């Protein structure tokens, strides 16, 4: 409280005029205002909810350890902002994805035992096992997996990211994305498109057929077109997409169209009887670029992940059961139960009760300045965030509070071309108890009927708290 | 002036407190403010610049004639807002454009004698004459035209609109756009793309070759693709383009991409050796949709043009020498000298001195709620309007002041999805001396080197004044 006495007044008497700066709860300021005096509120909260061990860790990580952590973070930010991921081709997973031999099936999110798989992810895994030809029916596939006949692995451990409930078998085609500055490579499956599909948690015959068609028909056509087109740098397309109303997570319409226009000369040159079908598929799938943006973000975050001692988040993924993050310099996951997708819009007849929890590796986008941090770029996404452009701007600005920098390439026209927030600092998340917002789709909880809506998921603070304590323990073992 | 005396004061004495509403010039309000009193400015000007005959015409058209004019305007607005133009194919001009026999060459803008053609339009006409095979060299083409061997006609008189310095010969391909609600049809040439082209005022061999290639190679491929795709409604694509940062005049990138994605399955199915070249051309021409938007606007404004007694502008076109408008219900042009393009950005090495005046039929877009009225949709266009999104919003709001309605389909996300202004009322333009803003390109004045920049042209008020007097004379012959 700042009480300024009237000039010349007796310092022992009450001041003639009072102006108040109120920190924390607004009750006191309200009382001051009710008496006609001016009061300014400061939105201050007890850091880290006042939990002693968190406050102590923060005190060390912002105090004696700060120089070491900040230096690491600068290098992480440099990598996140200068990685240059480029699409170089389409290949069979077993041939290019590291550690993808035998009967491996990659899934979204942190590691998970089969018993803990949620319904949509379970169905997706069955669909993949059927597409691989290891089982003829969903029941047979289920028995094979339950008996340990399939090695379930998090895609993130294999330089790969998969959206929603996608699973990936060794015969599936993957998009290959190189990051020359880091000398590393990342992968994502081809987006499966709309309808009854495995990535939306379906194991119906149509979903299996889609996987087979993507492998046998679409992949060769795309591979031929990409061979003609040469490398395609992905972040410049994403940056243009932000200028055209995409957030590059929930909406990738503009970026998809830009890519298709770029590939057009090489697509028409493909000599393959499936070209017409593939063109129809591409023409009807405005999320085609989603998986490319994800592979690009994975390439860049994997490069950043090898920097030790940082407090920046470089992996954020959900399997529908748990939500996990990883910090740069630490291969371990910090996980918490997957949250529901709040602030959602549902297809008619659906609602929170029929919705699976937040799922998929796509939250990697939020770590490179796309999706939630780029909400202010997308009036269409604003519809999910309260309806007005101001709500979308507020989402971007909340991300600004927990990020260490701003993208030098992803710009927001509505905020005078300010860069999108990049570099989620686990210290800030824990201190402010403010977690990243993730723009995402919603799947049916149990019926395998696919997408039922879309909305905004708030990452659970518990995994950030756990990661903070882990970082503190690594850097200050005696602390 | 509104001087409120202090309550209870002597009404004969000066008031104790003065608050001022100042109408018109701000000098008086400035003086009041300098003395510490409050003053509010009303931006009032003498209507129509105080010109007696204009004020008298306005008094009649807003007074005794208003009911008749307003009824007509309602029907014009209904047609502008409910026309449903659809691309139905590509055909040879002579075969489909009315009155296009013999050696007719259509040009942009109001009627114009050859001697009055500006340099870029003159070059374009020569290029068309060479592409038609009527002359082998530019000099020969010039002599043929000067000798009256070519019939020069405004495209607007033939249900056709052409952008920038485009001219159109009988063998040229045209995009055919039907407007079922009006039972009418409009045409535009295929956009010639970037580089040294006739629509940018070039008559070099490359410009002639482009015209020949568009006719002999591109048109058959596009015709085949469109035959496969069926009708393509154009305004829904334009409306989506506005959601993706297009103004649909200076920028048609998003709409072009949406159209190409729509046509993709039918493009890849075309069996024609030129398909690859055409795909490369389409992939490199983000103004491809411009001519389609123009033909769509022409179809709708031509339908509206047959409503008698209206004060709404239904044609607005420039030939580089004159700027002309037409009102609904009147086939005659009201013309004034073509203005320079102000508020411009130039390519390096160019500037106002090397720039031709405002040219082309594309200003028809500004009559249906695209281009200038849609400036607030396009952060990229804002760069030409002062640099910030607020400048673009101001341009849209200025159009609102001279328009009678708002589009029910072209929406502005930044203005809470308000419709773009539609229906330029010549009464409001003359009363406020505020003319439409037109987002447009700039050509070299004399060297045939093509585009040198882009900017915003302000329509000259003189042709609106002339049109107002003409309307008044038609409706109130004894007035």
CATH of domain B52-475: 3.90.1700.10
- Enumerate the residues of chain A whose CB falls inside 8 A of the CB of residue B389: 413-414
Q: CA-nearest residue of chain B to A415?
A: B389
Q: What distance in Å separates residue A238's CA from the closest CA in chain B? A: 14
Tens of pLDDT along A318-338?
Answer: 999 999 999 999 989 999 999
Number of H helices, E strands in chain B: 16, 18
Tell me the nearest-neighbour CA distance from B194 into chain A, angstroms: 16
Average pLDDT for B382-395: 83
Flag if A254 and B257 touch (Cβ within 8 Å). yes
Residue B3: DSSP 8-state: -
Mean pLDDT of A26-50: 78
Determine the pLDDT at residue B465: 97
Contact B364, B294 (CB under 8 A): yes
Residue A14 has pLDDT above 80, yes or no: no
pLDDT of residue A30: 80
Closest of A153, A160, A139 to residue A96, by C-alpha: A160
Biggest CA-to-CA distance, chain B: 94
**pLDDT score for A4:** 43
Question: Any chain A CB within 8 A of the CB of B253?
Answer: yes
Per CB-CB distance under 8 Å, the chain B contacts of A218 are none
A265–B268 C-beta distance less than 8 A: no
In chain A, which residues have their Cβ closer than 8 Å to the Cβ of B243?
245, 379-380
pLDDT over 90 at B112, yes or no: yes
Identify which has the larger pLDDT, B26 or B324.
B324
- pTM of the predicted model as reported, rounded to 2 decimal places: 0.91
Work out the average pLDDT over A104-132: 97
pLDDT tens digits along B403-434: 999 999 999 998 989 999 999 999 999 999 99
Angstrom CA distances, B453 to A451, B19, B119, B199, stand at: 47, 48, 17, 14
pLDDT at residue B322 tops 50: yes
pLDDT at residue A12 tops 70: no
The residue of chain A with its CA nearest to that of B411 is A379
* Lowest mean pLDDT segment, chosen from A133-142, B216-225, B448-457: B448-457
Please report residues of A whose CB lies closer than 8 A to that of B413. 245, 379-380, 382, 389
Q: Is B138 on the interface with A (CB under 8 A)?
A: no
Mutate to test the interface with A, among B242, B258, B262, B265 (most CBs of A within 10 A): B265
B262 to chain A: closest CA residue: A283
For residue A3, is pLDDT > 70?
Answer: no
- Selected residue with higher pLDDT from B455 and B103: B103
B-chain residues near A245 (CB < 8 A):
243-245, 254, 413
How many residues would you count in chain B? 479
Q: In the structure, what pLDDT confidence band is assigned to residue B448 with cuts at 50, 70 and 90? A: confident
Angle (CA) B37 B42 B47, round 5°:
145
Give CA–CA dist A448/A198, Å, rounded: 9
> Quick one: pLDDT at residue B199?
97
Pairwise CB contact (< 8 Å): B413 & A389: yes
pLDDT band for B34, please (50, 70, 90 cuts).
Answer: confident
Q: Write down the pLDDT at residue A134.
A: 98
Provide the percentage of residues in chain A whose pLDDT is more than 70. Answer: 96
All structural domains of chain B with their residue ranges: 1-44, 52-475
Mean pLDDT of chain B: 92
Interface of B with A in 272-331 (CB under 8 A): 275-276, 279-280, 282-283
| Residue B96 CB partners (closer than 8 Å, separation 6+) | B174, B176, B185, B187
CB contact under 8 A, A264 and B279: yes
Nearest CA in chain B to A259: B257
pLDDT at A383: 76
CB contact under 8 A, A269 and B282: no
Instruction: With beta carbons under 8 A apart, name residues in chain B contacting A388.
Output: 416
DSSP per-residue letters across A87-115: EEEEEEHHHHSTT--TTEEEESSS---GG
Q: What are phi and psi of B28, to 5 degrees?
A: -65, -45
Q: Is there a contact between A283 and B264 if contact means CB atoms under 8 Å apart?
A: yes
- Is the minimum CB–CB distance between A416 and chain B shorter than 8 Å? yes
- pLDDT surpassing 50 at residue A5: no
- Work out the angle between the directed axes of helices B66-82 and B288-305 (0-180°, nearest 10): 140
**Which residue carries 């090489």 as its tokens?**
A266
**Three-class SS state of B159:** coil
What's the whole-number mean pLDDT along residues A102-125?
Answer: 97
Residues of chain A with Cβ-Cβ distance to B260 below 8 Å are: 257, 260-261, 264
Going by pLDDT thresholds of 50, 70 and 90, the confidence category of residue A54 is: very high
Question: Beta B86-92 vs B173-179: how paired, if at all?
Answer: antiparallel
CA atoms within 13 A on the CB side of B23: 5
Coil, helix or strand at residue B148:
coil
DSSP, res B193: -
Q: What are phi and psi of B421, to 5 degrees?
A: -65, 135
**How far, in Å, CA of B312 to CA of B426, rounded?**
6
A221, pLDDT greater than 60: yes
User: Residue B6's pLDDT is what?
Assistant: 44
Position B308 pLDDT exceeds 90: yes
Output the six-digit token pair for A155.
């895609």
Rounded mean pLDDT of B33-48? 79
Instruction: Return d(Cα A262, Cα A292) in angstroms, integer.
Output: 14
Of A245, A260, A389, the CB nearest to B260: A260
Of B254, B280, B382, the CB nearest to A265: B280
Say what the pLDDT of residue B8 is.
46
Contacts of range A54-59, beta carbons closer than 8 Å, 24 or more positions apart: A54/A430, A54/A465, A54/A468, A54/A469, A56/A472, A56/A479, A57/A468, A57/A469, A57/A471, A57/A472, A57/A479, A58/A427, A58/A430, A58/A431, A58/A468
Select the more confidently predicted residue: B292 or B357.
B292
Cβ distance of B275 and A267 shorter than 8 Å: no
Backbone dihedral angles phi then psi of residue B408, each to the nearest 5 degrees: -90, 0
Mean pLDDT (whole number) for A295-312: 98
Judged by CB atoms closer than 8 Å, whether chains meet at B414 and A389 is answered as yes
Query: Looking at A58-67, B15-24, B162-171, B213-222, which range is the least confident one?
Result: B15-24
Burial of A115 (0-12, 13-18, 19+ CB in 10 A): exposed
Q: In the predicted model, what is the mean pLDDT of residues A263-267? A: 98
A56-74 per-position pLDDT tens digit: 999 999 999 999 999 999 9
Whether the predicted pLDDT of B221 surpasses 70: yes
Tokens 């596009």 belong to residue: B222
Instruction: Give the C-alpha separation, A116 to A109, whole Å.
Output: 12
Shortest Cα distance, chain B CAs vs residue A417, angstroms: 10
Specify the length of chain A in residues: 479
Q: Which two tokens stand for residue A249?
A: 């997570």
Closest CA to B80 of B370, B474, B415: B370
The mean pLDDT of A124-137, rounded to a whole number, is 98
Say whether B258 and A261 touch across the interface (CB within 8 A). no
ipTM over 0.90: no
In this complex, do A267 and B264 lie within 8 Å of one another by their Cβ atoms?
yes
Express each pLDDT in B149-174 by its tens digit: 999 999 999 999 999 999 999 999 99
């Amino acid at each position: 409280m700042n009480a300024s006495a009237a000039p010349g007044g007796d310092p022992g008497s009450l001041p003639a005029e009072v102006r108040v700066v109120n920190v924390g709860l607004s009750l006191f300021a309200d009382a001051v205002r009710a008496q006609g005096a001016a009061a300014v509120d400061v939105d201050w909260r007890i850091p880290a909810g006042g939990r002693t061990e968190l406050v102590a860790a923060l005190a060390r990580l912002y105090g004696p350890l700060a120089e070491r952590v900040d230096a690491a973070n600068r290098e992480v930010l440099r990598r996140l902002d200068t990685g240059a991921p480029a699409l170089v081709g389409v290949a069979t997973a077993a041939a290019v994805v590291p550690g993808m031999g035998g009967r491996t099936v990659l899934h979204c999110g942190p590691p998970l035992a089969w018993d803990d798989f949620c319904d949509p992810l379970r169905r997706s895994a069955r669909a993949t096992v059927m597409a691989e030809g290891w089982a003829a029916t969903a029941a047979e596939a289920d028995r094979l997996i339950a008996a340990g006949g399939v090695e379930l692995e998090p895609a993130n451990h294999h330089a790969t990211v998969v959206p929603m409930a996608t699973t990936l078998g060794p015969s599936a085609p993957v998009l290959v994305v190189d990051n020359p500055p880091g000398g590393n490579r990342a992968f994502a499956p081809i987006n499966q498109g709309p309808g009854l599909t495995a990535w939306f948690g379906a194991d119906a015959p149509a979903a299996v057929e889609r996987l087979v068609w993507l492998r046998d028909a679409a992949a060769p056509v795309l591979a031929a077109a990409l061979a003609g087109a040469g490398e395609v740098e992905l972040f410049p397309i994403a940056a243009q997409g932000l200028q055209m109303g995409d957030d590059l997570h929930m909406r990738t319409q503009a970026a998809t169209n830009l890519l298709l226009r770029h590939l057009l000369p090489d697509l028409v040159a493909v000599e393959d009887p499936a070209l017409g079908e593939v063109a129809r598929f591409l023409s009807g799938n405005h999320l085609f670029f989603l998986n490319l943006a994800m592979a690009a973000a994975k390439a860049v975050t994997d490069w950043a992940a090898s920097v030790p001692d940082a407090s920046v988040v470089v992996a954020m993924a959900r399997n529908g059961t748990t939500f996990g993050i990883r910090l740069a310099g630490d291969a371990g996951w910090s996980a918490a139960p997957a949250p529901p997708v709040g602030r959602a819009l549902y297809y008619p007849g659906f609602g929170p009760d029929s919705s699976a929890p937040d799922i998929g590796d796509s939250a990697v986008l939020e770590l490179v300045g796309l999706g939630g941090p780029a909400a202010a770029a997308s009036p269409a996404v604003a519809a999910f965030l309260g309806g007005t452009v101001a709500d979308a701007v507020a989402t971007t600005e909340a991300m600004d509070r927990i990020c260490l920098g701003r993208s030098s390439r992803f710009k927001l026209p509505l905020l005078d071309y300010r860069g999108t927030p990049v570099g989620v600092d686990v210290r800030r998340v824990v201190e402010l108890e403010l977690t990243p917002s993730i723009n995402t789709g919603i799947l049916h909880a149990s019926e395998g009927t696919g997408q039922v809506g879309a909305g905004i998921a708030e990452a659970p603070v518990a995994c950030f708290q756990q990661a903070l304590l882990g970082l503190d323990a690594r850097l200050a073992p005696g602390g």
